[in-house]
Homo-oligomer: A and B are copies of this chain.
Amino acid sequence: MPNRAFTFTAIGEVQSCFKEKFGIPRQPGLAPSARARILIYPEFAREEAFAGIEGCSHLWLQFVFHANDATWRPKVRPPRLGGNKTLGVFATRSPNRPNPIGLSVVTFLGLTKDDAGFFVEIGGVDFLDGTPILDIKPYVPYADAIFDARNTVAPEAPQLLPVLFSSEAAEFCVGENQRHASKSPLENLIREVLQQDPRPQYQAVDSGRIYGMRLWNLNVRWCYRENAELTGTEIYVMTIAPVAD
């Protein structure tokens, strides 16, 4: 019988804007302002191993679903399908796989080196903070971009909701952008993440309920409102505040 067990070692770990699972986009690329950096562990932090990577606009990351709930289940209920339709796990990108290895394409933003280590800077991520990275590969457009591919299970990106900011939240963003001029504007990150509607799809709008998620070191709180003019639901960002440590 051939060898069936293989042991791999993480080459690095992600430092991500997403500090908890709730709110993470369900695929990469949906929130271009969602930045992260991969800390490459010292034994792999050799610049020569990355020579030529600047010619790549996008990278594939193979990573480990390291949250505790990534247990193998033959059937899963994808949240996008309303939580009441089941699919085989191999027809989905769910973490509940026999081998909890994830696959995401991200934008490559550069290599950086500072006192904290050697980093690969990336954008459009859907990684939980601390995600172990097994491999980094270039996106090869002629092989990977299949224009006529069809997937009836996940045919299109999620519908987007309008996102409005309270004046308090908008002012907080202005200050934050001035303090961190090198980052994407905070309101872009919040809009891109929330407009996909992080709620499980089976939850009805409850205008009394306040939701929250953490982005970097900030707590973002929002609610849902019915907007008569738009004849639909809108997201209203109420407050943004630093996390009390």
Contact = CB atoms under 8 A, between A and B. Distances in A.
A189 interface: no
B151 A56 contact: yes
A130 interface: yes
A28 B145 contact: no
Contacts of A5: 7-10
Contact of A101 (B47, B135, B156): B135
Interface stretch (A81-89, A165-173, A203-211, A220-228): A81-89
Given A46-B74, A53-B90, A141-B150, 16 more contacts: A3-B132, A6-B64, A9-B99, A27-B142, A29-B146, A47-B88, A48-B75, A50-B90, A55-B153, A56-B150, A58-B149, A101-B101, A103-B137, A140-B154, A144-B144, A145-B146
Interface string A171-195: 0000000000000000000000000
Given A98-B11, A151-B139, A58 B146 contact: yes
Contacts of A105: 143-144, 146
A93 interface: yes
Given A90-B136, A103-B103, A142-B156, A4 B41 contact: yes
Contact of A55 (B30, B148, B151): B151
Interface of A: 2-11, 13, 27-30, 41, 44, 46-53, 55-58, 60, 62, 64, 66, 74-75, 86-93, 97-99, 101, 103, 105, 130, 132, 134-157
Contacts of A138: 90-93, 151, 153-154
Contacts of A134: 6, 99, 101
A86 B51 contact: yes
